[in-house]
Chains A and B, each alone.
Chain A
Amino acid sequence: MRKVIDWLENRTGIETLIRDFLYEDIPDSSGWHQVLGSMALFSFLVQVVTGILLAFNYAPTPGEAYNSLKYIVTELTAGSLIRGLHHWGASMMIVIVVCHMIQVFIYGAYKKPREATWMVGVILLLVTLAFGLTGYLLPWDNRAYWGTVVTTQIMGQAPIAGPYLQRLLGGATGVGVVTFARFYAMHVLLLPPLTMLLIGFHVYLVRKHGVAPAVVETEPRKKFFPEQVFKDTVAVFIGFILLFVLAVAAKVPLESLADPTDTTYIPRPEWYFLFLFQTLKFLPGALEVVGSTILPGLAILALFCAPFIDRGPMLKIRQRTVAIGIVVLAALGWSGLTAAAYITTPKNLAIAGGEGVAGWQKLTPPELAGLGYYRQEKCVACHLTGGKSGIGPSLTKSPDEHRSAAWLIPFFKQPAKVIPGSSMPSVTLSSSQLNSLAAFVVKLTADDESALMSTPDFVTDGAMLYQAQHCNACHQINGAGTKLGPPLNGVSGHHDRAWLEKHFRDPQSTSPGTVMPAYKFSDKEMDAICRYLLALPK
């Protein structure tokens, strides 16, 4: 071993290089507050490793991107763990980078001669945010698509540079294949090497000027290795455990495939951009551009120039009240805006694509069709939900309080005959439709109600069509129907939208010999039934 090392040392000088790097003198005052830089570097490395692994099974074009990511998280062992590490690692990296900056800012460690180190650091912060922004689009689900629509629109508002920036990001004619290609290229080709260069330069500058000493520094100086490296390792390990637990325990959402026609979707940026999102709510009309681009631009400029604004001599940390005040104010403002954004943005009704079961996914097609009729007949006009009574009684009841379907159906037909004096108009639907409606109404419980009421329209439309065409005569969903044909739960795992459409139009072309008849659906019907079927749980 020693021989190999000596040979390497003689030919390359690598041992001396590593030794010189590790046995750097650092001030006696250094310690736990300086672990954040190493943590930031580590979290970048985790992103590199997990990012490369994801790219091994990822198809970087819209649509395919979604399918391949779904394949990664559902079909591949440890796939969802690796995606989890990459997703949460991104958030973690931003947290660490910001904490690193706050520490340097409070200590005033950016002062002469370390201005350049700080400025490179500010650029690294921007690069980190650019990673988050471009990576957000890559899953190509509804969240990614709509979030990016808003982002590219905001960029377009920037004075002078706006239209160019938008063109550069491929967002000039809306978010589409060009935007996707640009975001992907930036995320995996431009930003990683740029980050590595900047990190290299940043670390070089730290070494050139040495770690910033305290105002009153006691001798002797310490070595970076192993004492400080030990502290860095402890911190890195804690961070890594936290990240790993998050990746295992907190499922990363993969919503349904990006749908530009989905008008119900409420876009929301990633949490670290929420404060900006919220700022825009306070600035109407012409002032919006101030909040979306001018203010953030000025803030970054101020950050960049901090070493030139604060030129006084080094102070003890207790005396740096202004710096601490700025950090506290910024933190308060940031958390206030973020919290407000969380509270005021309505919860999304969108359904989870792979993981997590939306309320409606537990229902059978007749029950969902019943919900469709419930909406179609405007039952909600009189029967308020949420346990409140409107003109009619609340229909939210515990399962054993509910009337039976056998009571409900004749009641729907002629309400006044079953309850004399009832002012409810009769429901003019066919018997099988009334069956569905009754099947749904008995499912309304306090626990499920809000989840059920937020069922997307394509689901109820699809289920109504499914019932009307008697698909249940051969197929089974959530245990309802027969198994003459294949059960349809989890059909998205076997077939895609194009296959389904072809299958409906000409079953023999996709499944030779099948007894399934051909269906002539309108485009709208085809859309509803395909989306409904593809969103079915496993």
Chain B
Amino acid sequence: MSADRNTGPELPESRRRFYLSFIYGIGAVITGALTIPAFVYLFFPPKTQKSGDWVDATDLSKLTDNTPEEVVFRRNRVDGWKVTSEKATAWVVKKGADQVIAFSPQCTHLGCAYHWDDGTHTFICPCHTSAFAMDGKVLSGPAPRPLDRFEVKIDNGKVQLGPLERHA
């Protein structure tokens, strides 16, 4: 009923239709011109991705073969507009004379800190009882993938850690 009242009698239908499509069209263009940059701005990562520097984590001589050790070291982390120097930890396992594996200290399930259990010879997460073998493989529990590893290189008897490589 209201439609009749609302159409101006002097406004031809074709012109009315033109007005409407123009209004909605331009409305869509302006909305797009604002939401696309907004989306890009909020969801794209910052332009310069700083690849993490290599940091000394520990001395090779302090590690014994096949005994996981939790090491504490300092590393710089890019946090938005800041670079913060922060304490970080890693679980490192020496495998022979020149091979060291370093695990990120967070369970791959929900990010809890796990620990090495000497009795069962596994990494155990206290949150949801995920268990990992010494090589990081999932033994039991809800963890979806093996433990994440740091890139490792050994330089002059120092164990150096690089960026995290996500285990597939």
On whether the beta carbons of B30 and A236 are closer than 8 Å, the reply is yes
Closest chain A CB from B49 CB (angstroms): 10
A271 within 8 A of B: no
A494 contact set on B, CB distance < 8 A: 50, 83
Q: Give a binary string over A70-105; 1 marks a CB under 8 Å from any B CB, 0 the rest.
A: 110011111101100000000000000000000000
Give the residue name and chain of the A residue nearest to B8 (CB).
Answer: A223
How far apart are the CA atoms of A230 and B26 in the complex, in Å?
10
A359 within 8 A of B: no
On whether the beta carbons of B40 and A78 are closer than 8 Å, the reply is yes
A237 contact set on B, CB distance < 8 A: 26, 29-30
A346 within 8 A of B: no
On whether the beta carbons of A78 and B46 are closer than 8 Å, the reply is no
B38 contact set on A, CB distance < 8 A: 49, 53, 78, 82
* A56 CB contact (under 8 Å) in B2, B10, B42, B55: B42
On whether the beta carbons of B34 and A46 are closer than 8 Å, the reply is yes
On whether the beta carbons of A240 and B30 are closer than 8 Å, the reply is yes
A234 contact set on B, CB distance < 8 A: 22, 26
A67 within 8 A of B: yes
On whether the beta carbons of A74 and B47 are closer than 8 Å, the reply is yes
Query: Given known contacts A71-B46, A82-B41, is B6 in contact with A233 (CB within 8 Å)?
Result: no
| Interface band, chain B | 35 or more
A59 contact set on B, CB distance < 8 A: 81
Q: Give a binary string over B1-31; 1 marks a CB under 8 Å from any A CB, 0 the rest.
A: 0100110111100001001101100110110
On whether the beta carbons of A233 and B27 are closer than 8 Å, the reply is yes
Chain A interface main SS type: helix
A312 within 8 A of B: no
Q: Give a binary string over B81-96; 1 marks a CB under 8 Å from any A CB, 0 the rest.
A: 1110100000000000
On whether the beta carbons of A53 and B41 are closer than 8 Å, the reply is yes
Query: Given known contacts A19-B6, A222-B8, A494-B50, is B30 in contact with A76 (CB within 8 Å)?
Result: no
On whether the beta carbons of B83 and A71 are closer than 8 Å, the reply is no
Query: Given known contacts A77-B40, A227-B11, is B5 in contact with A23 (CB within 8 Å)?
Result: yes
Q: Number of residues in A with C-beta < 8 Å to the partner?
A: 45
A495 contact set on B, CB distance < 8 A: 83
How far apart are the CA atoms of A227 and B5 in the complex, in Å?
15
How far apart are the CA atoms of A360 and B65 in the complex, in Å?
58
B41 contact set on A, CB distance < 8 A: 53, 76-79, 81-82
On whether the beta carbons of B81 and A23 are closer than 8 Å, the reply is no
B20 contact set on A, CB distance < 8 A: 226
How far apart are the CA atoms of A244 and B38 in the complex, in Å?
14
A193 contact set on B, CB distance < 8 A: none
On whether the beta carbons of B23 and A233 are closer than 8 Å, the reply is yes
* B6 CB contact (under 8 Å) in A23, A64, A74: A23
A496 contact set on B, CB distance < 8 A: 82-83
Give the residue name and chain of the B residue nearest to A509 (CB).
Answer: B85
How far apart are the CA atoms of A57 and B40 in the complex, in Å?
13
A240 contact set on B, CB distance < 8 A: 30, 33
Since A53-B41, A67-B82, A234-B22 are in contact, a sample of 19 more A-B pairs with Cβ atoms closer than 8 Å, ordered by chain A residue number, is A23-B5, A50-B34, A64-B81, A67-B81, A70-B81, A71-B46, A75-B46, A76-B44, A76-B47, A78-B41, A81-B37, A225-B6, A226-B19, A229-B19, A230-B19, A230-B23, A496-B83, A512-B56, A513-B56
A residues near B, CB below 8 A?
16, 19, 23, 46, 49-50, 53, 56-57, 59, 64, 67-68, 70-71, 74-79, 81-82, 220, 222-223, 225-227, 229-230, 233-234, 236-237, 240, 244, 493-496, 499, 510, 512-513
- 5 CB contacts below 8 A, A to B, read A46-B34, A75-B48, A78-B44, A234-B26, A494-B83
